[in-house]
Structure 1
Amino acid sequence: MLNWEELYQMQHELDSFIEEENNLTEQNLLRDKLLALSVEAGELANETRCFKFWSRKGPSEKSIILEEYVDGIHFLLSIGLETNYRFAGVEPDQNDTSLTELFLQFNRSISEFEKVQSEDHYIHMWNVYLSIGNNLNFSANDTIKAYKLKNEVNVERQKNEY
């Protein structure tokens, strides 16, 4: 089980640094974060190649896919901070839904949240995203470790004016 509060705290520190460094503390960044989440999900889908029926090339290495996956976690956490919603964490059920269908569901969940910014819609985004992670066979430990590593990279990037 993931320690969500630890991850929210780490994300809060990163977001605060970014917002202060870029004079964004008074701006509502929710729509930008929702678009960023959608773009990151697209990048993740691209690395899995799950929808590329026309290509014989396989997915990227697991480490690359995992790094793309935690980029989405960064934005899900950040959206929760922006809206004051928290995901407490429930492991999603294992299901036979295809990865392509899960990505389509996730895109719909982002759109639904953008229209109705409720905690239920926020939690639904998380549940679908975690189902993607389950489909990719990412354990909670894989995810936490990768999130922390990417968070360190993101902090360093910000310090070096990324």
Structure 2
Amino acid sequence: MNLKKLFDMQRVLDQRILEKHPELKGQNNLDWKVLALQVELGECANEHRGFKKWSNNQEPRIRALKAPAMMEEDKEYYNPLLEEYVDCLHFILSIGIELGITDIEMWGLQAPDATRCFLKCFENINSLYFVFCVDGQVTQDLYERLFGNFIMLGKSIGFTEEQIESAYFEKNAINHQRQEQGY
């Protein structure tokens, strides 16, 4: 995974958002980015469905129709779980940029079960935010732990680094289009 490229692309998108919303310039934007990441991670868990032990349908949502189509050959599908996952990645990258931590190490990780990975990511997000609130800064190690556990989550739900990177590129382009359209 080309982390430099991902951070560079996210930096461009973040700058574009700041230009569209100048009230965000020069202020701490970590609060809303952390909350957005928590919401997106919850949406990702919801698409994964593995924690829904009360349900007979615990299969991940990996194929959904983009829009209604009259003819079978005109139908387009997408992967809702992967889309929610890369929404999280956008905010994780953006948080790293906000903190000034973009030159990070990736480590090889073994992925435990997805539920534990989701819980670990939530724990990492909360720890990062707590440390920031108490100390006013976050260590690179703490951010790398969040990033590494998030990548481990992706592996635990069946994504390769190539799939993640490709989906990030696609969603980043959509996010730029949304800024053009006044989303």
Q: TM-score range by the shorter chain?
A: over 0.9
5+ residue gaps, structure 1: none
1:74 to 90, 102, 107: 90
Q: Which runs of 4+ in 1 moved over 3 A?
A: none
Decide which moves more: 83-92 or 35-44.
Answer: 83-92
Aligned residues: 160
Q: Does 1:49 align with 2:49?
A: yes
1:108 corresponds to: 123
Q: Does 1:11 align with 2:10?
A: yes
Judge conservation of contact 2:109–2:148 (CA < 8 Å) in 1. no
Identical pairs, percent? 38
CA–CA separation in structure 2 for the residues paired with 1:93 and 1:17: 34
1:21 corresponds to: 20
Q: Looking at CA atoms only, which structure, 1 or 2, has the larger radius of gyration? A: 2
SS at match of 1:85: coil
CA–CA separation in structure 1 for the residues paired with 2:45 and 2:142: 22
CA–CA separation in structure 2 for the residues paired with 1:89 and 1:20: 30
The structure whose RCO (Cα within 8 Å, separation 6+) is larger is 1
Judge conservation of contact 1:12–1:78 (CA < 8 Å) in 2. yes
Judge conservation of contact 1:48–1:60 (CA < 8 Å) in 2. yes
* Closer/same/farther in 2, CA of residues 89 and 140 from structure 1, 3 Å limit: farther
1:61 corresponds to: 62
CA–CA separation in structure 2 for the residues paired with 1:87 and 1:104: 25
Shift of 1:89: 4.1
Decide which moves more: 2-11 or 59-68.
Answer: 59-68
TM-score normalised by the chain length of structure 2: 0.83
TM-score normalised by the chain length of structure 1: 0.94
CA–CA separation in structure 2 for the residues paired with 1:93 and 1:34: 24
CA–CA separation in structure 1 for the residues paired with 2:11 and 2:46: 28
Cα deviation 1:76-115 (Å, max 9, x = unaligned): 10001000012534243224x2211111111111011012
CA–CA separation in structure 2 for the residues paired with 1:101 and 1:90: 20
